[in-house]
Amino acid sequence: MSVGKLIANNKKARHEFFIDEVIETGIVLKGTEVKSVRMGQANIKESYAVINDGEVFIQGMNITPYEMGNRYNPDPVRTRKLLLHRRQIDKLIGLTMKKGYTLVPLRLYLNEKGLVKLEIGVARGKKLHDKRHDLAKKDATRDIQRALKDKQKY
């Protein structure tokens, strides 16, 4: 999955969850929402995906209304449908039926063809000690990189 232009990234998702699988989806947008997304006016930090009646939707995603649009701009935080194949939806239903799994948006971007794509991850929640372990590992690698960089200077 190659990313053209990154619009929104959900760094918090990788901190809060173990991401077991990542799936690229299309998203249904109305009217001037595409122009607003192309300008980078989207936020996926507080959003999540749900499955209703065999379809996948994203809720809580904020797309700021296009400033040059008219009075018919859609609601900024409306529920939007995600575009997936039936096989992918069935797989997601099977995975989310397991205890503790949820669907979390990871990245919103434009692909090479200019289409708006959303990456969702099948995720399990992390416990507090897992988060601490990840932070300690991240700090250790940062210290190693810093030490190697300082050593190369001399």
Q: Identify the CA nearest to 17 among candidates 117, 98, 119, 100.
A: 100
- Segment 105-125, tens digit of pLDDT: 999 999 988 899 999 999 887
Contact (CB, 8 A) for 25 and 56: yes
Parallel/antiparallel/unpaired status of strands 62-63 and 116-125: unpaired
φ, ψ for residue 103 (rounded to 5)? Answer: -105, 120
By mean pLDDT, which of 20-24, 66-70, 135-139 is the weakest? 66-70
Q: What is the pTM of this model?
A: 0.77
Fold observed for domain 5-126: Small Protein B; Chain: A; (2.40.280)
Q: Please determine, for residue 48, whether its predicted confidence score (pLDDT) is greater than 80.
A: yes
**Which 8-state DSSP code applies to residue 65?**
P
Residue type, 149: K
Question: pLDDT of 6-37, one tens digit each?
Answer: 999 998 888 888 888 899 999 999 888 888 89
